[in-house]
């Protein structure tokens, strides 16, 4: 027979579960990160201003590329304020505090970060790793507004929390190593391919995107892009540029600019499409375009003695010949060797004691990009090589 304490504990757990039952029509958001996917259920009714504010940033594509910059094991995992280079993005207006809505900062809940001003919450959010009662409202004192919960994938949050932390960017502590970024964040919609595997679903959605783009049906293309992001599909440079043009055609300029920013981060700067992306960015946001162009130009000036290798194309291993795979392997090896030389060159620039702080940060940015590009290419090649070998 169960003890009274055991029964009470079971009853308590049931009550907690009941308090988090999703209401009909609740808004759900998928968050794709470097460590995996988790989903968020927004408490639209209890925290309407914060839920609407969060969705506003999601619809703008704001969170793509932002990192979890404050991670304290047993306390919170916080993000939404800085990109991979620890730079901030343009914010919307703050929202009024809603911490007296009866929701508590319990484990798994999503809350709004803010300054000492109770009504200063903007884009930053955190996930509670435990029951943080000290963050709740008390009497006349404002707390930190709970506006959602992690509905699925809390293990991803726990894995982020378990990473070692230290200094990063302007922060002396609490930044994870490695740095974990949001790769996509999108509203969850009905799955149009519920019976397909993840890979099959991604392929089907890319096909839907390409079909809609070819037909110049921008609404359909945007919807397919949203579902693809919610499914954590990988967006290469070509897809990002296509997404940016679709969003720009729909006058969703903030979201288009975010897609362009991601494109410019990973694309070949010597390509014709890169120049087109800069031109489109300039058209949508002259200030942003000018800043990016100036930054890229300054990096090239600082690293004028460094050789920037062109990233080789990796073929689809499912429909390519052995000769092409052998040639690609040679090109990948050459790229890695040249990239290593670039990293050594950039490291010398970073270590120059006479270098201005702003220039050093740009050199560090270029170094980090080169490392990421090297890792991404190696992973993609190994993946396609394994597929090819299995088909032989």
**Rounded Cα distance, 99 and 117, in Å:** 13
**Rounded Cα distance, 129 and 135, in Å:** 12
Of the residues 159, 184, 209, the one at which a domain ends: 184
pLDDT average, residue stretch 29-35? 97
pLDDT at position 195: 96
pLDDT of 44 over the 80 cut: yes
The answer to whether residue 236 is domain-embedded is no
The answer to whether residue 98 is domain-embedded is yes
Asked if the peptide bond before residue 46 counts as cis, ω within 30 degrees of 0, the response is no
**Rounded Cα distance, 11 and 15, in Å:** 6
Q: Give the SS3 label for residue 96.
A: coil
Q: Domain count of the chain? A: 2
The answer to whether residue 317 is domain-embedded is yes
pLDDT of 12 over the 50 cut: no
Per-residue model confidence as pLDDT tens digits over 269-325: 878 898 888 888 888 876 655 566 667 777 878 888 888 888 787 887 877 889 888
pLDDT > 90: what percent of the chain?
61
**Sequence-ordered list of residues with C-beta below 8 angstroms from that of 306, at least 6 positions apart, any chain:** 341, 342, 345, 346, 349
78: CATH: 2.40.100.10
b/e 146-177 (16+ beta carbons within 10 angstroms → b): bbbbbbebbebbeebbebebeebbeeeebbbe
pLDDT at position 13: 35
pLDDT average, residue stretch 115-121? 94
Whether residue 307 sits in one domain with residue 167:
no
Backbone angles phi, psi at 206, to 5 degrees: -60, -40
pLDDT average, residue stretch 205-229? 96
CA 383-366-79 angle, 5° bins: 75
Structure tokens at 21: 């039952």
The answer to whether residue 319 is domain-embedded is yes
The answer to whether residue 279 is domain-embedded is no
Whether residue 316 sits in one domain with residue 177:
no
Structure tokens at 324: 């092409």
| Residue whose structure tokens are 């809940």 | 109
pLDDT of 2 over the 70 cut: no
pLDDT of 21 over the 60 cut: no
Q: Look at the pTM and tell me if it is higher than 0.85.
A: no
Q: Which of the pair, 354 or 294, is modelled with greater confidence? A: 354
Residue span of the structural domain in which 361 resides: 303-392
Residues 238 and 263 sit within 8 Å (Cβ to Cβ): no
The length of the chain in residues reads: 392
The answer to whether residue 5 is domain-embedded is no
Q: Which of 36-40, 86-90, 188-192 has the lowest mean pLDDT?
A: 86-90
Residues 262 and 235 sit within 8 Å (Cβ to Cβ): yes
Of the residues 131, 152, 184, the one at which a domain ends: 184
Per-residue model confidence as pLDDT tens digits over 220-254: 999 999 999 999 999 999 999 999 999 999 999 99
Residue 344's alpha-carbon distances to 245, 303, 335, 348, in angstroms, are 37, 11, 14, 6
The answer to whether residue 200 is domain-embedded is no
pLDDT of 91 over the 80 cut: yes
**Rounded Cα distance, 241 and 261, in Å:** 10
pLDDT at position 36: 95
Q: Give the SS3 label for residue 41.
A: strand
pLDDT average, residue stretch 366-378? 84
pLDDT at position 17: 35
Whether residue 315 sits in one domain with residue 177:
no
The answer to whether residue 354 is domain-embedded is yes
Q: If you average pLDDT over every residue of the chain, what do you get? A: 88
pLDDT at position 5: 34
pLDDT at position 78: 98
DSSP letter at 3 equals -
**Rounded Cα distance, 45 and 51, in Å:** 9
Of the residues 155, 184, 213, the one at which a domain ends: 184
């Amino acid at each position: 027979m169960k003890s009274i304490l055991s029964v009470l504990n079971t009853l308590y757990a049931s009550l907690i579960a009941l308090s988090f039952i999703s209401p009909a029509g609740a808004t759900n958001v998928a968050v794709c990160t470097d460590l995996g996917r988790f989903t968020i259920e927004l408490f639209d009714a209890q925290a309407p201003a914060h839920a609407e504010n969060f969705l506003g940033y999601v619809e703008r594509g704001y969170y793509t590329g932002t990192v979890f910059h404050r991670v304290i094991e047993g306390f919170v995992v916080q993000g939404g304020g800085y990109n991979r280079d620890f730079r901030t993005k343009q914010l919307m207006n703050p929202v009024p505090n809603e911490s007296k809505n009866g929701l508590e900062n319990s484990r798994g809940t999503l809350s709004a970060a803010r300054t000492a001003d109770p009504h200063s919450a903007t884009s930053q959010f955190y996930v509670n790793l435990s029951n943080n009662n000290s963050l709740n409202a008390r009497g006349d004192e404002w707390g930190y507004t709970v506006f959602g919960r992690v509905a699925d994938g809390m293990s991803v949050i726990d894995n982020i929390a378990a990473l070692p932390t230290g200094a990063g960017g302007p922060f002396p502590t609490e930044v994870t190593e490695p740095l974990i970024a949001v790769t996509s964040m999108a509203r969850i919609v009905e799955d149009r391919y519920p019976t397909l595997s993840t890979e099959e679903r991604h392929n089907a959605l890319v096909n839907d995107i390409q079909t809609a783009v070819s037909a110049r049906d921008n609404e359909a293309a945007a919807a397919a892009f949203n579902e693809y992001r919610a499914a954590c599909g990988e967006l290469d440079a070509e897809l990002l540029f296509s997404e940016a043009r679709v969003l720009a055609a729909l006058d969703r300029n903030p979201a288009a600019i975010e897609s362009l920013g991601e494109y410019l981060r990973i694309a070949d700067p010597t390509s014709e499409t890169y120049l087109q992306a800069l031109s489109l960015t300039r058209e949508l946001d002259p200030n942003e375009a000018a800043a990016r162009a100036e930054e890229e130009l300054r990096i090239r000036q600082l690293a004028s003695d460094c050789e920037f290798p062109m990233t080789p194309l990796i073929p689809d291993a499912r429909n390519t010949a052995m000769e092409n795979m052998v040639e690609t392997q040679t090109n990948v090896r050459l790229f890695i060797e040249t990239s290593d030389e670039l990293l050594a060159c950039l490291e010398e620039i970073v270590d120059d004691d006479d270098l201005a702080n702003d220039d050093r940060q740009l050199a560090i940015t270029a170094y980090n990009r080169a490392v990421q590009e090297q890792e991404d290419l190696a992973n993609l090649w190994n993946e396609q090589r394994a597929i090819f070998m299995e088909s032989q």
